[in-house]
Amino acid sequence: QGYFVYDSKKSGAITISHLRFGPDPVHAPYLIARASFVACHQWSFLDRYDVLSYAEPGGTFLLNSSHGPDQVWDALPWEVQDQIVEKHLRLFVIDAYSVAKANGMGTRINTVMQTCFFAISGVLPREEAIGHIKTAIKKTYSKRGDEVVQKNYDAVDDTLSHLCEVAVP
């Protein structure tokens, strides 16, 4: 089940996706108050929003960052560091823009970040999730040609080697 909150601005806008997963249909007509998985696709949001306010203790935080796994901790705002430590969050980092660019997708990072989510979350077994992602890619982008489909496939295949868990001090 998903609810989406969109910002009205076009440039630098934020979208908050409230997603629920389960083996049975989910019927919960309200936004999520506590999330076991939070992802931030834009580094600049860390200074502008309380990205981790919804994160529940013991949850997971996925961050798109140009800072590698060895540098990202020191680059994070102290408020974000504090919440990660206080809530005992697992921290994962990927430079999604580099992966997208290297695979000919420009700045389109949705495929990269989606692959990270399914690889980390455990909602589905990893290989099954990747199979479903590739099926969706074929359905969504086949009208744009085989080259576009292949670029997305390549990005999926390249993502996991660039996804890193960061040791939280």
pLDDT score of 30: 73
How far is C-alpha 9 from the chain's CA centre?
Answer: 21
pLDDT score of 168: 96
Query: Could you tell me the pTM of the whole model?
Result: 0.89
Q: Which residue has the tokens 């589905």?
A: 124
pLDDT score of 15: 72
Q: Which residues contact 134 (CB under 8 A, 6 or more apart)?
A: 153, 156
pLDDT score of 104: 94
HEC secondary structure over 102-153: HCCCCCCCHHHHHHHHHHHHCCCCHHHHHHHHHHHHHHHHHHHCHHHHHHHH
How crowded is residue 7: how many other Cβ atoms within 10 Å of its Cβ? 10
How crowded is residue 141: how many other Cβ atoms within 10 Å of its Cβ? 18
Strands, sheet with 164-166, edge to edge from the N-terminal-most edge strand: 35-40, 55-64, 90-94, 164-166
Asked whether 48 and 13 are in contact (CB, 8 A), the reply is no
How crowded is residue 52: how many other Cβ atoms within 10 Å of its Cβ? 20
For the chain, 169 residues long, give each residue's pLDDT as a single digit of tens: 776 776 766 666 677 777 777 778 888 877 888 999 999 999 999 999 999 999 999 999 999 999 999 999 999 999 999 999 999 999 999 999 999 999 999 999 999 999 999 999 988 999 999 999 999 999 999 999 999 999 999 999 999 999 999 999 9
Rounded CA separation 4/59 (Å)? 20
Q: Which residues contact 164 (CB under 8 A, 6 or more apart)?
A: 68, 69, 92, 93, 94
Would you tell me the crossing angle of helices 110-121 and 126-141 to the nearest 10 degrees?
160
Amino acid of residue 103: N
